[in-house]
Structure 1
């Protein structure tokens, strides 16, 4: 039986906090992915706009990933791994 990641709760809301909300397994995965993009950008000293321009990812998409609104497709997740491993090499290849 497959678990529905959108409806399975990873972190339940605090019942004493009316502004808190449940976080699904999928939401937690999106947040972790968004954090990876943000950490990498900061490590490289780039704004969202600069990162998007250098690595060819639309800035609107990057914003959605970092805000955990959308999970990047598998190809973008694979590309992120390559950028994390060799950011300068990717930059040269893209620029060339």
Structure 2
């Protein structure tokens, strides 16, 4: 099954501006929503979230828009941030040895 070509949500034939959504597109959109909800729960803007957790702001923007899917390592890191945001902030604030 090719997630880019398999249609999860077909376009509305009565809406000329609507389009099909692939399984991969749906997954990217749901991940973007999860990241945005996490960032909002922490009360942070995209630039603040990016700076606090060491993720490029442009990447955060692309993930939240559903244009790109974060790589597996970043998805794991986001789960850690979700579970322990204050601990991650403390670690990120430490000066290198």
- Normalising by structure 2, report the TM-score: 0.96
For structure 1, the residue ranges without an aligned partner over 5 or more in a row are none
The C-alpha deviation readout for 1:21-65, integer Å capped at 9, x for no partner, is 000000000000000110001000000000000000000101000
> RMSD across aligned C-alpha pairs, in angstroms?
0.4
For structure 2, the residue ranges without an aligned partner over 5 or more in a row are none
Give 1:14 shift.
Answer: 0.4
Q: Partner of 2:28 in structure 1?
A: 30
The separation in 2 between residues aligned to 1:80 and 1:33, in whole angstroms, is: 10
**Alignment length (residue pairs):** 94
Give 1:67 shift.
Answer: 0.5
The separation in 2 between residues aligned to 1:27 and 1:91, in whole angstroms, is: 31
Q: Partner of 1:60 in structure 2?
A: 58
